Structure 1
């Protein structure tokens, strides 16, 4: 039964609640309420929202309203970050992150993009703002940190490159813009150290009908990322929208998901559309010039004023942003200004991510992909017609392959300019390969269909920067074994406990002990070595060897990162932290054993013994937002390990100052196995559960399924949704 507000009374209450902010007029509230009345939200027995509407725009309204119900603080924060306004709430320390965002887009440009967008896309942007605004209006008890009103153009602040993925550090950017440009003409020496970060990533598999029991294509959607950064949702409109999956919070497209006809998965790739250029700059009059083809060109400049919080005051600081024809200046190295060239198709990017959700076959999907505006993402695909496919990258500029594009190139010559973009068919890709499956685990395309592809290896080297991750090695192993597969078989394969990098490196550690076992310094490690020698290289919560191996390999990753040339490129660091380019060759037997000794000592310090099972140290816990992990609160043992071990269901856990156990922070988030038959079937799991309310049964009702690969069957067809409905309502109720 619907419990509806009496419409005039609601408007009066809402306007009264927000009168102090003078944010919304009575007419605006009435219009938003009218739109809300066109939307029905059904939450099923797992708490998953299904949004039913007449129009696509109303579906966007409903999606954003639902996102705010569970994650308003994160939705607002995503907007604050993109607007370049973090320092207004967090203080001066975030000033340069704000400057980075405003270097690429500002509200004036975003508004212009909105005005240039096609009418259908503007409607979606309008609904995006409307859904968030109506949530604020109908929840006056929610106090935003900064934004009391969202505008439609904010949806187009969607294409800001990350600093780290641009082969820069925030320290470099801060060093350049934190000083006068005249000083920046010198060779600054900021710290170029990269903090060791365990790599995230994703797995995408597509399995052809020839390898499945029901002779239907199956798609595995398996992103790895920070926990609680997305929701599971189903959107249905009478304009042809019927998509299910996981949007990023603060965005209105289902980034990884499926409809009744086909599905898509986007593992991250190092093949991208960003490059650094070294510019030769000199002072001239009141400005600067840079050299290009033997001539001097003026460096463009513009002012930007940013606000920041200091105590109870809101202060401001004005910066001058510099640009060459390549893009904004972002650093200085060896007396050269460094500019960043990137792709800027904000409108097309927003459109593509929506349009793919409504495609019905390979031809339509490929037509959308052919816009070629997605940067840093691969595409794994399957459909109801039995097709499977894989594309490595999407927006890939044509470059001179004789240059090392991982590092800055000479900005003074034409030879380093982009020469257009590669056509979709020129990219590494597979459509219906003979082996019957494709995979990408943030890995090279050279093994995407199993065997090394010598033909694909002839592609330009800048298309192939990714390593062969141990997750990809594992994926090839399990996919080759799949025959007559069901959804459950695919889910089981995606949680296979074998750890390829343990097989690769632990024998070297054991061999190192044999070489120095008579050294009394290492005699105390005999027990640990015996445990590792008896291990089958499979993770399990009861395994002590897994504990030793993971903590030792973690130190090996750190040692490998430390020896990378500075400045470290994202390609080099990620290929180490994801386990692709790890090595023990530079370490002596004594050095390898010293790391094991550190592991043993740490375990003894925390637990009184080194014989600690992986399940005791590796835990899942979902504390209330803002509260720290605690060894005294309820938690669950997790068998999965970090991706650098080759664990397909990657799970990164960390100690905190107040704990001895390690608790999960990144890894599997929304995972789906989808079978595209005449009737769509899918099983999914979401980290913890669908609710952010710790008192809700949906806060941790998916934990056991998440840990033990027992996925829930989804409700896709409306009769099934209604038969399993837990709550039906309209926004504002």
Structure 2
């Protein structure tokens, strides 16, 4: 490993021209201090808002709009759990976290005017705040309700690489705001050079690479929670021929009023042996059970993952089973590639995947899961003969082709049995077509493939739609058909026809395909139009509205959809994974008809890495690496995304110094008690 070069004995942050902090320190504790300081400088207002919400005090700080979130936070027990987690940290992690929050508080103390007044009451932040934020984000925004997230990941073995080195593509898809934002950082110790991204406010990188190994994550088809249906009776709920009383806790929430005063808002939280009650009627109640809430050491596991030097060490980190979910793909300098369907998978009482998407009977211990499958039980693939692995939120069985995993070898409830359980079936198919499109990959080609906007759904349906036209269509329908015939089946800024096609598909009824997904034709189905007459009528309606609001049907996609962060605007490219784009941008309509659609999520932190010596890496954080008002880095990478380009990751000291914007020398944190 190439040891970092240190100019002083004090910890320091070298800020490059993209606002990425390169943190140099002699000890892990100093590293935590610098990382906290850097995050507060780049995202202080956002972090304080997120920590205030994780405390369950959002309404107390900012008013009525935050009350529902506070109720949920306390119902889920997040503040109390964070305190218990803090007591369960290892001494080394406790020191690191103490230094991390000290760095945040130091920045806020030194730069009070940099923090907006409405967020200052949250200061000082504490270790409990960090752990509450971790619990809220991971368990109650990913484990429960992961549909907001996606991601693409590829790992390429040396046999499929032009250079003879393994390659990794990390391509996260998350909303462009709130607790889903990525913070890009470069962390240096004398024996570590770790580059990647952390979710804002988190003290550890969640995806990244060091000089030996890299890893990426995708949300998996994982069911780590269960709704239990309880039958109520006088004194509680029915449980194995008896009546079990609820545990009840009375909490007083504070709500800030327009005049600045606080009013009390009572909340009673009820819990059964399954978990908290989230819904209750006269006769029934629903309790929520979530996997992993008793696992306090996720951060130790992330540190072990980030410092792993090979697949064996990475697997040893995963075997700690502290992280409740996520697929992981890795590549390393030894030429190994690896995939795992990671998760704290509950040991259930039989049934298949779809059975457990429904509420389960809560009146008997027979249905109450209490344990998890061990690491050995989880689906994994190492070094497949074909030389590649991919995951785009599909079940584990299509991670490589020919498949090396058989659903029959695993519990039927662990994952969907086929591609019908993929988050975005068409995006998975586009990924599989793309990764098999050439025999060998270079780093540049990997980066270029990441920006592929070819629309799988366009390839499936445009010809069928044109073929359904009557012999003498009305002029508007004929114009719409002509636009679609001339469309390049991409979602590039200059693609004409994508806007019309996207709106048509969004207006189509469910089950629009004539041929559903078929395991015998896994990459070419679903296909065809089930009801051509309805498809044409929908196309005409959409064309009429588009003509009325836009004045034409061939509006370029980059004019119809925009990438906007702060004051920066770029013509859009990329589209929703649901239509089969590998480059994913989720967008919403403008506030008025005829106004451009606006990107709100999708492609987030991206890294293409080659494990040569030294490691070569290309990266991008499309929305920029800061959210603070007046920061020059709000949206400063949008133009790169618009042009389909990644930027070089600067990791060695001379290169970082050549692109230096400013330097922050920090005092070493005080010794930990």
TM range (shorter): 0.7 to 0.9
Matches within 5 A, 1:197-212: 200-212=149-161
- Residue 256 of structure 2 corresponds to 309
RMSD in angstroms over aligned alpha carbons?
2.9
Per the alignment, do residues 303 and 691 of structure 1 end up closer, same or farther by CA in structure 2, a change over 3 Å counting? closer
Matches within 5 A, 1:187-336: 200-227=149-176, 229-238=181-190, 240-284=191-235, 289-312=236-259, 313-332=261-280, 335-336=283-284
Q: How big is the shift at 1:691?
A: 4.7
Give distance in 2, aligned partners of 1:590 and 1:677.
56
Q: Secondary structure at the match of 1:716?
A: coil
Q: How big is the shift at 1:392?
A: 1.5
Does structure 1 residue 131 correspond to structure 2 residue 103?
yes
Does structure 1 residue 159 correspond to structure 2 residue 135?
yes
Per the alignment, do residues 584 and 162 of structure 1 end up closer, same or farther by CA in structure 2, a change over 3 Å counting? farther
Does structure 1 residue 730 correspond to structure 2 residue 673?
no
- Which of 406, 409, 427 is 1:455 aligned to? 406
Give distance in 1, aligned partners of 2:666 and 2:525.
50
Q: How big is the shift at 1:216?
A: 1.1
Per the alignment, do residues 213 and 497 of structure 1 end up closer, same or farther by CA in structure 2, a change over 3 Å counting? same
Cα deviation, 1:99-129, whole Å, max 9, x if unaligned, reads 2111233544423331232111111221122
- Residue 75 of structure 1 corresponds to 47
- Residue 359 of structure 1 corresponds to 308
TM-score, normalization by structure 1: 0.80
Q: How big is the shift at 1:200?
A: 4.2
Give distance in 2, aligned partners of 1:204 and 1:293.
46
Q: How big is the shift at 1:505?
A: 3.2
Does structure 1 residue 637 correspond to structure 2 residue 571?
yes
Give distance in 1, aligned partners of 2:667 and 2:108.
10
Give distance in 1, aligned partners of 2:42 and 2:101.
17
Cα deviation, 1:283-309, whole Å, max 9, x if unaligned, reads 22xxxx222222222221112221112
Per the alignment, do residues 508 and 84 of structure 1 end up closer, same or farther by CA in structure 2, a change over 3 Å counting? farther
Q: How big is the shift at 1:450?
A: 2.6
Q: Mean alpha-carbon deviation: is it higher for 711-720 or for 381-390?
A: 711-720
Q: Secondary structure at the match of 1:117?
A: coil
Cα deviation, 1:518-546, whole Å, max 9, x if unaligned, reads 6x7x6521111132234442333222221
- Residue 560 of structure 1 corresponds to 510
- Residue 548 of structure 1 corresponds to 500
Structure 1 unpaired stretches of 5+: 1-35, 169-196, 563-578, 625-633
- Which of 487, 495, 498 is 2:443 aligned to? 487
- Residue 671 of structure 2 corresponds to none
Q: Mean alpha-carbon deviation: is it higher for 295-304 or for 107-116?
A: 107-116
- Residue 473 of structure 1 corresponds to 429
Per the alignment, do residues 383 and 503 of structure 1 end up closer, same or farther by CA in structure 2, a change over 3 Å counting? same
- Which of 332, 348, 358 is 1:407 aligned to? 358
Per the alignment, do residues 606 and 487 of structure 1 end up closer, same or farther by CA in structure 2, a change over 3 Å counting? same
Structure 2 unpaired stretches of 5+: 1-7, 513-522, 669-673
- Residue 174 of structure 1 corresponds to none
- Which of 333, 342, 365 is 1:393 aligned to? 342
Does structure 1 residue 705 correspond to structure 2 residue 637?
no
Give distance in 1, aligned partners of 2:28 and 2:438.
39
Q: Mean alpha-carbon deviation: is it higher for 100-109 or for 641-650?
A: 100-109
Verify the 8 A CA contact 2:566 2:635 in the aligned structure 1.
no
Give distance in 1, aligned partners of 2:65 and 2:564.
30
Q: How big is the shift at 1:693?
A: 6.6
Cα deviation, 1:22-70, whole Å, max 9, x if unaligned, reads xxxxxxxxxxxxxx99420101233321011122122122112111112
Verify the 8 A CA contact 1:200 1:666 in the aligned structure 2.
no
Verify the 8 A CA contact 2:37 2:107 in the aligned structure 1.
yes
Per the alignment, do residues 165 and 208 of structure 1 end up closer, same or farther by CA in structure 2, a change over 3 Å counting? closer
Cα deviation, 1:306-328, whole Å, max 9, x if unaligned, reads 11122222112222211111111
Q: How big is the shift at 1:130?
A: 0.6
- Residue 148 of structure 1 corresponds to 123
Q: Secondary structure at the match of 1:394?
A: coil
TM-score, normalization by structure 2: 0.87
Cα deviation, 1:231-286, whole Å, max 9, x if unaligned, reads 21101124x443111111111111111111111111112313211111112122xx
Q: Secondary structure at the match of 1:549?
A: helix
Give distance in 1, aligned partners of 2:251 and 2:461.
51
Verify the 8 A CA contact 2:304 2:317 in the aligned structure 1.
yes
- Which of 574, 580, 584 is 1:650 aligned to? 584
Per the alignment, do residues 89 and 695 of structure 1 end up closer, same or farther by CA in structure 2, a change over 3 Å counting? closer
Give distance in 1, aligned partners of 2:51 and 2:168.
32
Per the alignment, do residues 202 and 133 of structure 1 end up closer, same or farther by CA in structure 2, a change over 3 Å counting? same
Matches within 5 A, 1:585-624: 588-624=531-567
Cα deviation, 1:157-194, whole Å, max 9, x if unaligned, reads 122366676778xxxxxxxxxxxxxxxxxxxxxxxxxx
Verify the 8 A CA contact 2:48 2:123 in the aligned structure 1.
no
Give distance in 2, aligned partners of 1:144 and 1:127.
25
Cα deviation, 1:179-230, whole Å, max 9, x if unaligned, reads xxxxxxxxxxxxxxxxxx9954111111111111221111111001122622
Verify the 8 A CA contact 2:10 2:666 in the aligned structure 1.
no
- Residue 519 of structure 2 corresponds to none
Does structure 1 residue 716 correspond to structure 2 residue 651?
yes
